[in-house]
Structure 1
Amino acid sequence: MTATPPREHTRTYFLGKLAEVLEIRGLEVALRSNPPSLKATDPDAAMLSETVDCVATADGWYYRWSWGEIVESTNDPEAAADRILKVFAGRSPSGPA
């Protein structure tokens, strides 16, 4: 049996914290283990989904969009959820123009 590297445990921990906040706010969330990532989907607009992972930088751990841009520090999953929801609202047919 192969042990999971500590770095992967850290990513999974931070993604789990973000998943909890997103679920409370009404998004559907799927955690993936290899590589650790989180897929968030708006249940009211199933076409709206984003994948987020975690990355360690010299300044600490950060949530990161699938295209590599930083979302927010893992120290603030609430702010990361705010930003994800803002992106969803901007893409929603009923969202801001």
Structure 2
Amino acid sequence: MTATPPREHTRTYFLGKLAEVLEIRGLDVALRSNPPSLKATDPGATMLSETVDCVVTPDGWFYRWSWGEIVESADDPEAAADRILKVFALRSAGGPA
């Protein structure tokens, strides 16, 4: 049995915190383990989902969109959830993300 590297534990921890906030706010969330990521889906919108991962930079840990842009600091899952929900709202209204 191989041990999970500490960095992966940190990544999974932060993704779990974001998942909790998103679920409370009404999104469906699926955590993936390899590589660690989170898929958030708006159950009220057809085909509206996004994958977020968590990366470490010289400035700390950050949530990141699937296309590589930073969402928010992993220290603030509430702010990250706000941004994700804002993007979902814009997309469901037909506006740019």
Give the TM interval when normalised to the shorter protein.
Answer: over 0.9
**What's 2:89 paired with?**
89
| CA distance in 1: counterparts of 2:20 and 2:94, whole angstroms | 26
**What's 2:54 paired with?**
54
In the alignment, structure 2 segments of 5+ residues that lack a partner are none
- Report 1:1-97 matches (<5 A): 1-92=1-92, 95=93, 97=95
The alignment partner of 1:88 has SS state of helix
Identity %: 87
The alignment partner of 2:68 has SS state of coil
| CA distance in 1: counterparts of 2:38 and 2:46, whole angstroms | 16
Alignment size in residue pairs: 95
> Displacement of 1:45 after TM fit?
1.1
The alignment partner of 1:62 has SS state of strand
The alignment yields a C-alpha RMSD, in angstroms, of: 1.0
> Displacement of 1:96 after TM fit?
6.7
TM-score computed with the length of structure 1 as normaliser: 0.95
| CA distance in 2: counterparts of 1:47 and 1:9, whole angstroms | 30
The alignment partner of 1:3 has SS state of coil
> Displacement of 1:46 after TM fit?
3.6
The alignment partner of 2:84 has SS state of helix
TM-score computed with the length of structure 2 as normaliser: 0.95
